[in-house]
Amino acid sequence: MNPTIPFPVREIPVRAAYDAVVCGGGPAGCAAAIAAARQGLKTLLVEGQGQLGGMGTSGLVSHWLGGRANNCRDWVVGGIFRELSLEGARRGVALLPEPDGTVSPHGWRAAGQLVAGVPFDAFGMAALLDDVSAAAGVEVLLFTRAVAVALADGAITHVVIHNKSGFQAVAAKAVIDATGDADLAALSGCPTILGREEDRLMTPVTLQMHMDHVDADALKAYVQARDKSGYRWLEEIQALMKQGEWPFSYDRLISVQLTDPDTFMVNTSRMTGFDGTDGASISKAMAQGRRESLQLLAILRKHFAGFEKARIKAIAPLLGVRETRRIVGDFMLTVNDVVNGRTFDDAIGFSAYGWDLPDPKKPSYQPMHEKKVATPALTPVPYRIMLPQGIANLICPGRAVSVERDVLGPLRVMAPCMAMGEAAGVAAAQVAADGKPFVAVDIAALRAELLRRGATLEAP
């Protein structure tokens, strides 16, 4: 048992009072804050990194998935996600790819969810999020984390934050936990589940990198000559493994062309045995990820067509974590619900993404694929999966929702997280105005307001 020391009791200044406090400035948090502020709520958004956008910007997972149908025409997620995608394309910092009958460098398939994703420039998107948040009236604190909560009568009265100004408290009528790790729910004593129920192990983590000076034409010609469906360089990597020139436990290369033709997101490393809620574990994973990025660059230059002159443009300063805590709600969305096409009166959006949650010990193994579980065309997102037990004015949009673990596959990607965030921000208006708990929100009114804002609530 670790020793303890007494922490001095001190008076923490209350910085201000807000209608809505949003913790976490990733896709869910940005959408939540923008939606709340657009309804006239005094809204604070706190983010631990130096820019908004979360995994898409600081994590360099610069490819929003799950928001467009495979045909690349229908918007499965509308609202703020669609708005940001279209404005990003207008500014030239995002692309809206369409299939052209050939293999697409935006995922090395002829069609499907990777091609239907929205690749973007991470730095341009962070600036766009600054602009949209400011225009909505969101107050943003960067390099700031929520570290504690004050509770009274089953609700959060204050969120304690910390940054270079020290400890401060902010009063809140509605609190939106968009940390992805259910940090506020855990601090509030809400029940959560960490990783797999049987052993608490979590799916592999990835440290993303962007490479430029890639010869995209040579790369595409190589892939086009071999396969038009989901090319992952499996045979080439197996050969390199036998030669002792591929030292990693994962056995596929995943790359996505971004907004510049010579620049690719390399989503290849999958490191096992790490815990995204443990500071020491995250630190080790970051160092290992940087080492593996340099190793991978050397291998690609030596053995892979198109990468001969590639260089590292950026290695992410934020670890890519696919899974940590999930809240325990009064309702849990299950695999059977998704496979059987169950519909929900409180649905606030959909995901078009499939099963994607690698095994915690086997980084290239997808259990749901091996079990041959049918891939859903759409996964519904019921409002109630965002509601933790025990705290009336807390809601948790994003990958920490109350679902059976495998359902994280389609719901953890960024477009459906934005749909959840927008719904949470809209729901916060009822909580802040009427003092009602999130569980008592008028669902008909919520859905009507989401539709008014352009959300997709019916299957395309």
Write phi, then psi, for 59 (nearest 5 degrees). Answer: -85, -5
Predicted pLDDT of residue 148: 96
Write phi, then psi, for 292 (nearest 5 degrees). Answer: -65, -30
Any idea what DSSP says for residue 188? T
Model confidence over 404-419: pLDDT tens digits?
Answer: 999 999 999 999 999 9
Number of neighbouring beta carbons within 10 Å of residue 231: 18
Write phi, then psi, for 213 (nearest 5 degrees). Answer: 60, 30
How far apart, in Å, are the Cα atoms of 132 and each of 31, 48, 77, 301? 10, 19, 18, 39
CB distance 327 to 376 below 8 Å: no
Model confidence over 220-248: pLDDT tens digits?
Answer: 999 988 876 778 999 999 999 999 999 99
Query: Measuring CA to CA, which residue among 112, 83, 119, 321 is closest to residue 216?
Result: 119
CB distance 31 to 15 below 8 Å: no
Mean confidence (pLDDT) of the chain: 96
Sign for the CA dihedral angle at 43, 46, 50, 54 comes to negative
CB distance 39 to 162 below 8 Å: no
Q: Which two tokens stand for residue 81?
A: 């996600």
Predicted pLDDT of residue 226: 87
Q: Which two tokens stand for residue 168?
A: 């401060």
Beta bridge partners of 325: 194
Model confidence over 13-59: pLDDT tens digits?
Answer: 999 999 999 999 999 999 999 999 999 999 999 999 999 999 999 99
Predicted pLDDT of residue 289: 98
Model confidence over 295-346: pLDDT tens digits?
Answer: 999 999 999 999 999 999 999 999 999 999 999 999 999 999 999 999 999 9
CA–CA gap between residue 351 and residue 389 (Å, rounded): 24
CA–CA gap between residue 162 and residue 214 (Å, rounded): 41
DSSP letters along 325-378, please? Answer: EEE--SS-B-HHHHHTT---TTEEEEE--------SS-TT--HHHHTTPPPPS-
Local confidence band at 252 (pLDDT 50, 70, 90 cut-offs): very high
Query: Measuring CA to CA, which residue among 383, 378, 380, 377 is closest to residue 421?
Result: 383
Percent of the chain at pLDDT > 70 equals 100
Predicted pLDDT of residue 228: 66
Number of neighbouring beta carbons within 10 Å of residue 64: 27
CA–CA gap between residue 271 and residue 289 (Å, rounded): 8
Lowest mean pLDDT among 87-101, 114-128, 365-379: 365-379
- Counting DSSP H helices and E strands in the chain, the numbers are 12, 17
Asked whether residue 101 carries a pLDDT value surpassing 90, the answer given is no
Instruction: Classify 94 in phi/psi space as left (phi over 0), alpha (psi -120 to 50) or beta.
Output: beta
Local confidence band at 459 (pLDDT 50, 70, 90 cut-offs): confident
CB distance 264 to 210 below 8 Å: yes
Please indicate, yes or no, whether the overall pTM of this predicted structure exceeds 0.85. Answer: yes
How far apart, in Å, are the Cα atoms of 62 and each of 48, 57, 380, 436? 19, 6, 24, 37
Q: Which helix (H) or strand (E) holds 21?
A: strand 14-23
Mind listing the domains of the chain with CATH numbers? 14-100+117-196+323-452 (3.50.50.60), 209-315 (no CATH)
Q: Which helix (H) or strand (E) holds 433?
A: helix 414-434
Sign for the CA dihedral angle at 161, 162, 163, 169 comes to positive
